[in-house]
Amino acid sequence: MKTSIINGSEVSRLSVAIQGDGIAVDASWSLMTSNSPQFITERFRIYSSSNANFCWEGAVRLVNCNGVRMSKTQLHGNPLESSLAAADPYTMKYGLQFVNQTDALGLISFFIDSLTVMCASRGIQVYGWHEGFEIVNSELVQVNTGIEVYGNATHANPDFFYLNSHIEARERAVNLSNVFKPKFIGCDLFKSTFGTPVSGVVVGLNQCNFASFIGTTFSSNDASVSEQGIITDANSYHGNVTGCSFIGFDNTSDSSGINLAGGEWIISSNNFYLCNAGIRIYGSNNEIGINHYKDCTSWLSDAGLSSLAHLREYINDYTWTVTTSGPDQAILVPIPSGIFKGVPEYGDITPVTAGGPMMWVSYDRAGSTTSQARFLVKSSTSIAAGNYILGVILKSKN
């Protein structure tokens, strides 16, 4: 189906079976400035009906399209034509492709709800200056790359919003270049193994400022390959990663949940499980809040400049038992498992009860471990034998 149209196209309750190569729907428009929707689909399906060793170039290609409304649309390649020993095995090159043929005019208004793309090299592919993508309740599965955007280098593509949706990809779930304010909220982004494992990342950002990832899960089940949850270049600034989970990035020494080369990001309240490194920082002026780590080789590796890492704190009362009176004592405070990755960087103790001894306390970091903090105590008088309730504060970046 190929169309060259002036105003608009609407497809509803139609199923198209493809047995050869080419593009199922190839629509193009003259350059215009109208804000009205021009391409609308509802309950529309494209699928392969052939088991031959070919499929079509793509399912839907829209050139100079200024406005899209897609709902309950399925774009299915053929899983039987995928040789999973290859890095990119899918014979359908893209499910949905957008092309802007000029850098002088931005195309606007793209709303996609309940889209399914299956068995495509690229699930959604965007070339050129497009503004205002909102994709909700959708899934891109058995793809090499789920979403790939090459935005306008001068203007950047504003507002790419992916909500409550799923991507299962062999190499990259998301690959964005020159996108301003991309947002992923409540999504599941999964790098999966089918056949031969392939190195890659879940989300790659190149020159993308003010990216937000909130309540999103990044995971991988690949084996013996390098992988990253989020990786950025040095020109991606002011991002935010909050309330997300990073699972299974532990196969190689360079695998990590977040690999951050950009600056001025905020990363806080995230869960890291089975990561070789939870967070690696190479940029400057980032703010790392309190995150949670489980079964990670390292938690936070900071090679950047002027980044602020909020200290993890352990605060508790401790009953110190003095068995032999004397002016010089040592206090050994147990630390619960999983509080700190390394030896606490800072420690302090104060008497809780007014009747406690007058003490001068110093934290002995060299004599401490991840499971026990050691304090050295001196007093102007002998500290009598007995029990003393002390307030303990321990702090560390890891």
Residue 299: pLDDT over 60:
yes
Give the model's confidence band at 6: pLDDT under 50 very low, under 70 low, under 90 confident, else very high.
Answer: very low
Among the residue ranges 45-59, 234-248, 271-285, 296-310, the one predicted with the least confidence is: 45-59
Give the model's confidence band at 1: pLDDT under 50 very low, under 70 low, under 90 confident, else very high.
Answer: very low
Instruction: Give the 3-state secondary structure of the chain.
Output: CEEEECCCEEEEEEEEEECCCCEEEEEEECCCCCCCCCEEEEEEEEEECCCCCCCCCEEEEEECCCCEEEEEEEEECCHHHCCCCCCCCCCCCEEEEEECCCCCCCEEEEEEEEEEEEEEEEEEEEECCEEEEEEECCEEEEEEEEEEEECCCCCCEECEEEECCEEEEEEEEEEEECEECCEEECCEEEECCCCCCCCEEEEEEECCCCCEEECCEEEECCCCCCEEEEEECCCCCCCEEECCEEEEECCCCCCEEEEECCCCCEEECCEEEEECEEEEECCCCCEECCCEEECCCEEEEECCCCCEECCEEEEEEEEEEECCCEEEEEEEEECCCCCCCCCCCEEEEEECCCCCCCCEEEEECCCCCCCEEEEEEEEEEEECCEEEEEEEEEEECC
Report whether 21 contacts 57 (CB < 8 A).
yes
Give the model's confidence band at 35: pLDDT under 50 very low, under 70 low, under 90 confident, else very high.
Answer: low
- The residue ranges of every structural domain in the chain are 2-309, 312-396
Q: What is the pLDDT of residue 260?
A: 96
Give the model's confidence band at 353: pLDDT under 50 very low, under 70 low, under 90 confident, else very high.
Answer: low
Among the residue ranges 87-91, 108-112, 388-392, the one predicted with the least confidence is: 87-91
Residue 114: pLDDT over 80:
yes
The structure's pTM equals 0.85
Residue 54: pLDDT over 80:
no
Q: How far is CA 383 from the centre of its chain?
A: 54
Residue 33: pLDDT over 80:
no
Q: Give dist(CA 151, CA 87) in Å, integer.
A: 25
Q: What is the mean pLDDT of residues 354-380?
A: 83
Query: Closest by alpha carbon to 392, among 372, 383, 384?
Result: 372
Residue 320: pLDDT over 50:
yes
Q: What is the pLDDT of residue 237?
A: 95
Give the model's confidence band at 212: pLDDT under 50 very low, under 70 low, under 90 confident, else very high.
Answer: very high
| Angstrom distances, CA of residue 223 to CA of 90, 121, 167, 271 | 21, 21, 19, 21
Q: What is the mean pLDDT of residues 381-385?
A: 82
Question: 271-275 and 166-177 as β-strands: parallel, antiparallel, unpaired?
Answer: unpaired
Give the model's confidence band at 360: pLDDT under 50 very low, under 70 low, under 90 confident, else very high.
Answer: confident
Where is mean pLDDT largest: 63-67, 175-179, 291-295?
175-179
Report whether 117 contacts 75 (CB < 8 A).
yes
In a 10 Å sphere around its CB, with 0-12 CB exposed, 13-18 middle and 19+ buried, how is residue 35 labelled? Answer: exposed
Report whether 350 contacts 359 (CB < 8 A).
no
Give the model's confidence band at 50: pLDDT under 50 very low, under 70 low, under 90 confident, else very high.
Answer: low
Q: What is the pLDDT of residue 135?
A: 97
Find out if CATH 3.30.1490 is the number for domain 312-396. Answer: no
Report whether 210 contacts 183 (CB < 8 A).
no
Average pLDDT, the chain: 87
Give the model's confidence band at 356: pLDDT under 50 very low, under 70 low, under 90 confident, else very high.
Answer: low
Give the model's confidence band at 12: pLDDT under 50 very low, under 70 low, under 90 confident, else very high.
Answer: very low
Q: What is the pLDDT of residue 3?
A: 41
Q: What is the pLDDT of residue 13?
A: 46
Percentage of the chain beyond pLDDT 90 is 56
Residue-wise pLDDT for 66-98, tens only, equals 889 999 999 988 777 666 777 777 888 999 999
Percentage of the chain beyond pLDDT 70 is 87
